[in-house]
């Protein structure tokens, strides 16, 4: 730790002198106030309420959509990349603890976007977890069709709807024929 709360007691000149020295293989450029070069990690973890190793670590900075936000990216992504490693393209960290604001990498698992959506508690997830249609017909491979706009439909219900419709058309035609 080479600059912390105590730096405020240093004069700017002494700050630069102290910072320009090489520490841990890192050379601080001259003439720039150390605060501007504070490593991104330090700023990041300064906004995390780190608790026990297995507990949730809530993000205390700004958030968007329920997720912590840091430098225009989700905070939990930062945490994962800093502590675990880069996130491969196509994967995203999913909260095993279901606490969106949590940035504990232990609570994150890399999954595909589809898996993440299915695991979530949104409407898509609720619908995907349904095993039967509204009328109790099973969503098994034989009875299920996939709508072009997304989502599943029940074949039994579709057949029933078609039957009702044909019946109505036939009735109308019969009425027309009777009247003419
Ligand atoms: Zn958590
Ligand atoms: Zn049905």
Which residues sit opposite 109 in a β-bridge? 94
Residue 15 confidence (pLDDT):
43
Residue 4 confidence (pLDDT):
44
How many CB atoms lie under 10 A from the CB of residue 64?
10
Among the bound ligands, name the one nearest to the CA of residue 107.
Answer: 1
Among the bound ligands, name the one nearest to the CA of residue 159.
Answer: 2
Q: What is the pLDDT along the chain (180 residues), one digit of tens a residue?
A: 444 444 444 444 444 444 444 444 545 445 545 444 467 888 999 999 999 888 999 999 999 888 999 999 999 999 999 888 899 888 889 888 888 999 999 999 898 888 887 777 666 666 777 788 888 898 888 898 887 777 788 999 999 999 999 999 999 999 988 887
Distance in Å, CA 162 to ligand 2 centroid:
13
Q: Contact, 77 vs 91, CB < 8 A? A: no
How many CB atoms lie under 10 A from the CB of residue 103?
33
38-49 residues labelled b (16+ CB within 10 A) or e (exposed): eeeeeebbeebe
Ordered domains of the chain (ranges, CATH): 34-128 (3.90.75), 144-179 (no CATH)
Rounded CA-CA distance 24/42 in Å is 16
Distance in Å, CA 56 to ligand 1 centroid:
4
Among the bound ligands, name the one nearest to the CA of residue 130.
Answer: 2
Q: Are strands 144-146 and 108-112 parallel, antiparallel or unpaired?
A: unpaired
Distance in Å, CA 70 to ligand 1 centroid:
17
Distance in Å, CA 74 to ligand 1 centroid:
14
Q: Contact, 74 vs 68, CB < 8 A? A: yes
Among the bound ligands, name the one nearest to the CA of residue 68.
Answer: 1
Distance in Å, CA 122 to ligand 2 centroid:
22
Helices (H) and strands (E) in the chain, counts: 6, 7
Among the bound ligands, name the one nearest to the CA of residue 135.
Answer: 2
Per the structure block, which two tokens stand in for 77?
A: 């992504």
């Amino acid at each position: 730790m080479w600059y912390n709360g105590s730096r405020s007691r240093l004069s700017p000149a002494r700050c630069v002198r102290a910072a320009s020295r090489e520490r841990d293989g890192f050379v601080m450029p001259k003439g720039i106030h150390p605060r501007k070069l504070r490593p991104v990690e330090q700023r990041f973890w300064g906004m995390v309420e780190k608790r026990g190793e297995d507990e949730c670590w809530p993000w205390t900075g700004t958030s968007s959509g329920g997720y912590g936000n840091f430098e225009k990216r989700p905070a939990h992504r930062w945490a994962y990349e800093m502590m675990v490693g880069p996130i491969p393209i196509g994967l995203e960290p999913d909260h095993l603890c279901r606490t969106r604001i949590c940035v504990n990498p232990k609570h994150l698992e890399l999954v595909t976007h589809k898996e993440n959506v299915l695991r979530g508690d949104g409407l898509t997830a609720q619908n995907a977890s349904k095993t039967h249609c509204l009328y109790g017909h099973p969503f098994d491979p034989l009875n299920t069709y996939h709508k072009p706009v997304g989502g599943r439909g029940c074949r039994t219900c579709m057949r029933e709807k078609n039957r009702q419709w044909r019946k109505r058309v036939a009735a109308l035609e019969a009425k027309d024929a009777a009247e003419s």
